[in-house]
């Protein structure tokens, strides 16, 4: 599935099953919440925290997909073509950061 197809599928689901989009501000808050849930699982899987019983059945991939879902909603609501935005972001990084990381002593 391409990013464009994902945006279209989310839009279709929202307009049929989901009834309508939540407000942009609500979705921004939801995105923050979903990123927090992902962070919690990452901290317990790769960090020093131990799992709570309620976290043991959480799936990192599912949490990442929740983040992506809400991001796709926000893109649709604000008229952002994420495929185009990502291409432009790669161009920016390739010009701005062409040598930045290779010359970073901390990364050697």
Torsion of CA 15, 20, 22, 27, to 10 degrees: 0
Return the DSSP state at 18: S
**73: how many CB neighbours lie within 10 A of its CB?**
24
Q: 3-107 has which CATH code? A: 1.10.287.1080
**Residue 72 buriedness (CB in 10 A; 0-12 / 13-18 / 19+):** buried
Cα separation values, 105 from 14, 31, 94, Å: 47, 34, 19
CA 40 – CA 104 distance, rounded (Å):
30
pLDDT tens digits, one per residue of 3-52: 999 999 999 999 999 999 999 999 999 999 999 999 999 999 999 988 88
Give yes or no for residue 88 having a pLDDT over 90. yes
Whole-prediction pTM: 0.88
């Amino acid at each position: 599935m391409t990013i464009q197809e994902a945006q279209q599928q989310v839009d279709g689901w929202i307009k049929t099953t989901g009834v309508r989009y939540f407000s942009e501000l609500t979705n921004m808050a939801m995105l923050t919440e979903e990123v927090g849930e992902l962070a919690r699982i990452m901290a317990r899987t790769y960090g020093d925290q131990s799992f709570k019983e309620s976290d043991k059945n959480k799936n990192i991939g599912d949490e990442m997909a929740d983040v992506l879902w809400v991001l796709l909603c926000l893109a649709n609501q604000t008229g952002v073509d994420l495929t185009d935005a990502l291409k432009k972001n790669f161009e920016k990084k390739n010009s701005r950061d062409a040598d930045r990381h290779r010359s970073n002593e901390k990364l050697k």
